[in-house]
Structure 1
Amino acid sequence: MANVIHTGRVRSVSQQRLVLVDDTGAANTLSLAPDVRVLREGQQVSLRSIQEGTVVRASASLYTRGNPVTEIEVVPPARSRTR
């Protein structure tokens, strides 16, 4: 299966759509597969647990009609370095 990866900050999420804002500030609306998996730290969580502002990596299928997102992974925040 071939996938395309979208990374960005969540603007909004519903059962059918995910709106991400990329580093340039452009919004990208993605359709979600009915059985989309959501992962946080390797554990499956609910779609409702994703909040606005969360950085995610979304994997969309290139070979399925409409290219729906099949998996959303919450990107862990960068850890600050101490000196």
Structure 2
Amino acid sequence: MNLFLVMLLRRPVVDPAAIEAHMVFLDALRTEGRVERSGPFADKSGGAYLLRAADLAEARALVARDPAHTSGGWDITIHEWQAR
């Protein structure tokens, strides 16, 4: 498995229900051993999580199911991360 840094930046309007659904989604991925770390940025502009996936295609497929993505409330980028 490879590590991917998923960065989320809030758009001006975010549905509060999407935030809760996003947290539930991350908890499910954490239970599967897919999310290593996650959390909001201190300035509340967004957040990030470390995702384990076989490749970028799988990472994109997983992130596409994230309520943060499906709600349209965040701009999301995915970067393969070569952590040391």
Larger relative CO (CA 8 A, sep 6+): 1 or 2?
A: 2
Structure 1-normalised TM-score?
0.29
Q: Which has the larger radius of gyration?
A: 1
More helix as a share of residues = 2
More strand as a share of residues = 1
